[in-house]
Chains A and B, each alone.
Chain A
Amino acid sequence: QQQVKQSPQSLIVQKGGISIINCAYENTAFDYFPWYQQFPGKGPALLIAIRPDVSEKKEGRFTISFNKSAKQFSLHIMDSQPGDSATYFCAASLLNQAGTALIFGKGTTLSVSS
Chain B
Amino acid sequence: DAGVIQSPRHEVTEMGQEVTLRCKPISGHNSLFWYRQTMMRGLELLIYFNNNVPIDDSGMPEDRFSAKMPNASFSTLKIQPSEPRDSAVYFCASSSGTVVFGYTFGSGTRLTVV
* A interface residues, Cβ below 8 angstroms from B: 1, 6, 32, 34, 36, 41-46, 49, 89, 93, 95-96, 98-107
> In the complex, which residues of chain A have a beta carbon less than 8 angstroms from the beta carbon of B56?
101
Q: Is B98's CB under 8 angstroms from A103's CB?
A: no
> In the complex, which residues of chain B have a beta carbon less than 8 angstroms from the beta carbon of A44?
43, 91, 103, 105
Give the one of B31, B48, B103, B105 with max A CB within 10 A.
B103
> In the complex, which residues of chain A have a beta carbon less than 8 angstroms from the beta carbon of B106?
43
Asked whether any CB of chain A lies closer than 8 Å to the CB of B41, the reply is yes
The residue on B at minimum CB distance from A44 is B105
Known: A42-B105, A98-B50, A102-B99. 14 other contacts (CB 8 A): A1-B59, A41-B107, A44-B91, A44-B105, A46-B103, A95-B99, A96-B98, A99-B48, A99-B51, A101-B33, A101-B56, A102-B103, A104-B42, A104-B45
Complexed CA–CA distance, A96 and B107 (Å) = 27
* B interface residues, Cβ below 8 angstroms from A: 4, 30-31, 33, 35, 41-43, 45, 48-51, 55-56, 58-59, 91, 93, 95, 97-100, 102-108
Q: Is B31's CB under 8 angstroms from A99's CB?
A: yes
Q: Is B55's CB under 8 angstroms from A99's CB?
A: yes
Q: Is B58's CB under 8 angstroms from A32's CB?
A: no
**12 chain-A/chain-B pairs, Cβ below 8 angstroms:** A44-B43, A45-B102, A49-B102, A95-B98, A96-B98, A98-B50, A99-B31, A99-B95, A101-B55, A101-B56, A102-B99, A106-B41
Q: Is A99's CB under 8 angstroms from B107's CB?
A: no
> In the complex, which residues of chain A have a beta carbon less than 8 angstroms from the beta carbon of B4?
43
Q: Is A43's CB under 8 angstroms from B59's CB?
A: no
**Nearest chain A CB to B107 CB, angstrom units:** 6
